[in-house]
Amino acid sequence: MIAQRGNRAGNDQSTNSYLAMVGDVHAELTRLQVQHRWIQMCLKDKIAFAPVDLTKEGLKILDMGCADASPVDAQYVGTLLRDLQKQVPASAQMVGADVSTAFLPASSQGNICYVTQDVCDPPAAALRGQFDMTHVRNVLHSTQKSGIDQAVANLSDTLAPGGWLQIMEMDMTSGQPKQPQALQDLIQIIGYMFEKQGLDRHYARKIPDSMKKAGLENVTVETVECGIGKVLGDEAAVRSSIKPFMHTIPLVARNANG
């Protein structure tokens, strides 16, 4: 989902449901970065769906929920910001934000700097009205503290005039024709976990309306099918698609039974 801002002129981590859910930060970093590789494979390594000129000098990009720290297993290092860093000019200014310093490198990485910021809270002054593109992926499921509308409004507040907000979230609706039964079962469990934490499993479908409520324009929705397992054919692709779920299932099971 993408939307544009019109051309008009402190964090409470103790209440963050996501931190409470993940438990082991290092395991979560590995899970997120394995998931990133699978999603990028599905997207054919495309990052910006918003019509942003990635060659623009001085381009400013914010990635909310960046999880850019290195996991224990170094083979999995790889995040959206690190990939994007290879595509933009050296003059670009990129900011990675996450709810805890545990998910962030200890220092800047080239033209990427890092800040702590909870999407449920109003953005810090240094983040307001600054960015040509703000990106967020698979974060809004953990916005019980503020609600989806307020979280999207907070993201909107980070945009410079004419800037674009790009939100990528998984549709937790099972029963789609191409889904194998095992995947449908997993989606049902994840949906149950969401509901247990007080969140509508169909939250992703409400985001376009939240964008409009935030005053954003040119709201567009694009659906991408992310294949899993043997439907992909290529053995390397099959392994890449299965690995994220090998890391996700224990997390889901722990929270579903807790």
DSSP, residue by residue, 221-254: --------GGGG-SHHHHHHHHHHHHHHHHHHHH
| Predicted pLDDT of residue 44 | 87
Element (H, E) at 208: helix 207-213
Task: Of 117, 119, 126, give the one whose Cα is nearest residue 145.
Answer: 119
Q: Coil, strand, or helix at residue 54?
A: coil
Q: What span, in angstroms and rounded, lies between the C-alpha atoms of 39 and 70?
A: 19
pTM: 0.81
Q: Coil, strand, or helix at residue 95?
A: strand
Sheet holding 159-168, edge to edge: 112-116, 93-98, 60-64, 131-137, 159-168, 2-4, 217-220
Q: What span, in angstroms and rounded, lies between the C-alpha atoms of 222 and 255?
A: 30
Strands (E), the chain: 2-4, 60-64, 93-98, 112-116, 131-137, 159-168, 217-220
Q: What span, in angstroms and rounded, lies between the C-alpha atoms of 127 and 199?
A: 27
| Predicted pLDDT of residue 67 | 86
Number of domains within the chain: 1
Q: What span, in angstroms and rounded, lies between the C-alpha atoms of 60 and 57?
A: 9
The CATH code of the domain that includes 111 is: 3.40.50.150
Q: What is the mean pLDDT of each run of 10 residues along the chain (258 residues)?
A: 67 50 73 83 89 97 89 59 94 95 90 96 98 95 90 98 95 65 73 72 90 97 79 75 71 60
| Predicted pLDDT of residue 35 | 82
| Predicted pLDDT of residue 249 | 64
| Predicted pLDDT of residue 23 | 64
| Predicted pLDDT of residue 76 | 46
Phi, psi of 3 (to 5 degrees): -155, 155
| Predicted pLDDT of residue 195 | 76
Q: What span, in angstroms and rounded, lies between the C-alpha atoms of 198 and 142?
A: 10
Q: Domain residues for 236? A: 2-257
Q: What span, in angstroms and rounded, lies between the C-alpha atoms of 3 and 6?
A: 10
